[in-house]
Amino acid sequence: MGFNLGILISGRGSNMLNIVNASQSGIINSKVKIVISNKINSQGIKKAKKKNIKTKIINQSLYKTKTNFEKVLNNSLIDENVNFICLAGFMSILSPYFLNLWSNKIINIHPSLLPDFKGKNAVKQALEKKVKTAGCTVHFVDEGVDTGKIIDQEKVTISNNDDEEMLAKKILKKEHVLYIKVLKELERKLL
Ligand code: GRF
């Protein structure tokens, strides 16, 4: 048994594609029911379509309030029988209204060893602080920005010559491994 996943994205969608691949090749039991982008120019939507995954663009900028947007988002997920949500580069803070509807059923991936370097530019923040180890975290989503309960993390050693792009690339590789590891763990624990 696996989850019926809804994946929310805003851009590139490499984590989304990685989850789709893991699902389609049977590495995880969960099925990706729909990929939704809140931005119109998301590269990830094209990638999901190529994999024959149902996609939807809900252009958040057209909605007067976040709740209006989230009502449409919620209905789109319910329509596809989604029962668990993965955020993967989704650039919108979900409101308490939406979080209450999906309590403990939303996870996110962030490119830092939380609780360090929350929010945007996490990789840049790590380099500026001159820490020796960076990494990524999968966590449950709560009302804060990258503050929810940590599920698992992967570390990445920072080399002296790493710039932001190089380090982000190294972290992204680990993100792809970590997200699948966590989904497998949650399939075992929650189902
Ligand atoms: C990843 O670095 C993820 O940790 C962060 O946003 C980025 C999304 O990349 N939340 P992608 O769209 O999955 O390629």
Tens-digit pLDDT profile for the chain (191 aa)?
Answer: 899 999 999 999 999 999 999 999 999 999 999 999 999 999 999 999 999 999 999 999 999 999 999 999 999 999 999 999 999 999 999 999 999 999 999 999 999 999 999 999 999 999 999 999 999 999 999 999 999 999 999 999 999 999 999 999 999 999 999 999 999 999 999 97
Q: Is the CB of 118 under 6 A from ligand 1?
A: no
User: Among the atoms of ligand 1, which is closest to the Cα of residue 9?
Assistant: 12
Catalytic (active-site) positions: 110
pLDDT digits (tens, 9 = 90+) for 17-27: 999 999 999 99
Query: Would you mind telling me the total number of residues written for the chain in this entry?
Result: 191
Task: Output the pTM of the full model.
Answer: 0.97
At 2 the pLDDT is 96
Q: Is the CB of 175 under 6 A from ligand 1?
A: yes
At 98 the pLDDT is 98
pLDDT digits (tens, 9 = 90+) for 134-176: 999 999 999 999 999 999 999 999 999 999 999 999 999 999 9
Number of domains in the chain: 1
Q: Which residue has the tokens 């989904």?
A: 183
At 161 the pLDDT is 94
Mutation to probe ligand 1, out of 21, 109, 116, 173 (largest number of atoms < 8 A from CB)? 109
Q: How far apart are the first and last CA of the chain?
A: 7
At 1 the pLDDT is 83
Rg of the chain (C-alpha set) = 16
Mutation to probe ligand 1, out of 9, 15, 47 (largest number of atoms < 8 A from CB)? 15
Q: Which domain holds residue 27?
A: 4-190
Q: What is the CATH number of the domain that holds 27?
A: 3.40.50.170
